[in-house]
């Protein structure tokens, strides 16, 4: 169960399903808005049972640009933060971050791995 302050760092290739999983999380949070990838706006905010901050850092040049977006209030706030293409900014994320890796399989399915970054456990 996700709780306020949780951060999910999504990793996977283009069209792996990052936004699709975000849509499922938004549904669980009873968010009524249509969820789309924030590739061009970088951050989308949605409100349901708790805030959902959906970030896409694909177009950023690195961690410094992420810091300059002013994301601290989101990462350390009262909502859930989901970051697509998080590989680019892992150095700026707290150790409590949950890493969600999506790997497309040859049969069209997806292998999903979760890692509690703080202790390295993969489920």
Q: How far apart are CA 86 and CA 76, in angstroms?
A: 17
What is the domain partition of the chain in residue ranges? 7-122
Would you say the C-alpha torsion 67, 92, 82, 74 has a positive or negative sign? negative
Q: Are 14 and 87 in contact (CB under 8 A)?
A: no
Fold of 7-122: Rossmann fold (3.40.50)
Q: Report pLDDT digits (tens) over 96-119.
A: 899 999 999 999 899 999 988 766
Q: What predicted TM-score, i.e. pTM, was given to this entire model?
A: 0.87
* CB of 11 closer than 8 Å to CB of 87: yes
Q: What is the pLDDT of residues 40-86, one digit of tens each?
A: 788 899 999 999 999 999 888 888 888 888 788 888 889 999 999 99
Q: How far is CA 56 from the centre of its chain?
A: 8
């Amino acid at each position: 169960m996700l709780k306020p302050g949780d951060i999910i760092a999504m990793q996977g290739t283009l069209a792996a399903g990052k936004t699709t999983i975000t849509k499922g999380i938004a549904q669980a949070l009873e968010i009524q808005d249509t969820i789309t990838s924030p590739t061009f706006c970088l951050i989308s905010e949605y409100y349901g049972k708790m805030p959902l901050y959906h970030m896409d850092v694909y177009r950023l040049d690195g961690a410094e640009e992420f810091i300059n977006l002013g994301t601290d209030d989101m990462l350390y706030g009262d909502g859930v933060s989901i970051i697509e293409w998080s590989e680019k900014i892992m150095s700026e994320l707290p150790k409590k971050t949950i890493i969600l890796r999506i790997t497309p399989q040859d049969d069209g399915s997806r292998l999903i791995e979760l890692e509690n970054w703080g202790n390295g456990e993969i489920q």
